[in-house]
């Protein structure tokens, strides 16, 4: 995998590596980036304009943004990992780093936080008392899209790694939901188009439309506007008949068969195009109870909305 700038289009798979001169420029810029301002759940237009203007002149920045956008929305795209480990080492993952990460994400879409009781970057720590399959648990977090049960889900979900599992596990898993659907039998796709599925509650949310229950997994819309509304947890929590449950299980199996996995490192942020891909996580390593709270795996989550 090559660094941005060393190959035509500056792209290495779905991992975006920044050249040293761009890293140095961003480290300097981060020290003077202003704090963001919010209007409701969204970054304000003035913040977006300022952030985009501040970063625009950095060397190789436009090439990096082009690589990122291609990775997220190209013909075979759908996710990207931007590797900011060197910048995290220089700045720490504090306010300056988060302003820089937010500014970079502003080149993709508008950052927002639909969970109204949380700040823009929501913590996803490791809770030994949580159900293992939850995002904050220690077990296998099966494939899903975020906010599956709302009428207007975020277009992108972003996960920033503050600390990986110090015991070396907890790899991120992703799967191309659209390709998984294409591998299904027509009869299964027909069942998944029925509004028969349910998962989760609708609580303290804003700017994501209304609660959608029951919902179809396949909404019949074009790729960049529709969703494959899937979460493996609905298999246990929906009151499904045998045929609809079997179709969803077949889709889950196809997602697992086509999955990719990698372990996020400190400073990495993962962006997932929710119209195309689903994500999850392998279990954390055994022995988490022996790791102090301040050293356990910690991610920060932020969502993005395309401009209408």
List, for residues 293-307, the tens digit of each pLDDT value. 999 999 999 999 998
Q: Is the pLDDT of residue 9 over 60?
A: no
pLDDT band at 8 (very low <50, low <70, confident <90, very high): very low
Average pLDDT for 194-207: 94
Virtual torsion, Cα 102, 121, 173, 70, nearest 10 deg = -20
Contacts of 47 (CB under 8 A, 6+ apart): 34, 36, 37, 106
- pLDDT given for residue 239 in this prediction: 83
37-60 pLDDT, tens digit each: 999 999 999 999 999 999 999 999
Say how many C-beta atoms besides its own lie within 10 A of residue 202's C-beta.
14
Average pLDDT for 127-152: 96
Average pLDDT for 216-235: 95
Percent of the chain scored above 90 by pLDDT?
91
Structure tokens given for 113: 């936080």
pLDDT band at 267 (very low <50, low <70, confident <90, very high): very high
Average pLDDT for 247-273: 97
268-299 pLDDT, tens digit each: 999 999 999 999 999 999 999 999 999 999 99
List of domains in the chain:
1-75+92-108 (no CATH), 111-308 (3.60.130.10)
E-strand ranges in 105-171 read 110-112, 122-124, 141-144, 156-163
pLDDT band at 4 (very low <50, low <70, confident <90, very high): very low
- pLDDT given for residue 76 in this prediction: 73
- pLDDT given for residue 5 in this prediction: 36
Structure tokens given for 43: 């970054």
Exposed / middle / buried, residue 118 (Cβ in 10 Å: 0-12, 13-18, 19+): middle
Bridge partners (DSSP) listed for residue 301: 122, 159
Mean of the per-residue pLDDT values of the chain: 93
Say how many C-beta atoms besides its own lie within 10 A of residue 239's C-beta.
10
68-87 pLDDT, tens digit each: 999 998 777 899 999 999 99
Q: Is the pLDDT of residue 7 over 90?
A: no
């Amino acid at each position: 995998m090559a660094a941005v700038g060393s190959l035509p289009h500056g792209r290495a798979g779905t991992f975006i590596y920044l050249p040293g001169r761009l890293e140095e420029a961003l480290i300097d810029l981060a020290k003077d980036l202003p704090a963001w301002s919010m209007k409701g759940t969204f970054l304000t237009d003035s913040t977006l304009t300022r952030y985009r203007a501040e970063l625009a002149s950095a060397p190789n920045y436009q090439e990096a943004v082009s690589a990122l956008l291609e990775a997220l929305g190209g013909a075979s795209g759908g996710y990207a990992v931007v590797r900011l480990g060197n910048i995290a080492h220089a700045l720490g993952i504090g306010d300056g780093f988060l302003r820089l990460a937010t500014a970079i994400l502003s080149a993709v879409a508008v950052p927002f936080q639909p969970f109204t009781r949380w700040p823009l970057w929501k913590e996803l720590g490791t809770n030994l008392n949580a159900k293992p399959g939850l995002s904050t648990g220690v077990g296998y977090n099966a494939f899903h899209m975020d906010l599956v049960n709302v009428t207007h889900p975020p277009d992108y979900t972003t996960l920033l790694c503050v600390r990986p599992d110090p015991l070396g596990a907890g790899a991120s898993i992703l799967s191309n939901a659209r390709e998984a659907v294409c591998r299904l039998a027509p009869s299964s796709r027909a069942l998944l188009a029925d509004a028969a599925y349910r998962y989760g509650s609708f609580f303290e949310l804003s700017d994501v439309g209304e609660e959608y229950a029951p919902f179809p997994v396949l909404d019949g819309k074009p790729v960049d506007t529709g969703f494959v509304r899937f979460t493996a947890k609905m298999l246990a929590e929906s009151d499904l008949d045998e045929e609809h449950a079997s179709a969803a299980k077949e889709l889950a199996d196809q997602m697992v068969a086509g999955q990719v996995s990698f372990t996020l490192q400190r400073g990495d942020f993962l962006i997932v195009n929710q119209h195309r891909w689903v994500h999850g996580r392998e279990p954390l390593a055994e022995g988490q109870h022996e790791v102090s709270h301040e050293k356990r795996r910690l991610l920060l989550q932020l969502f993005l909305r395309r401009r209408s």
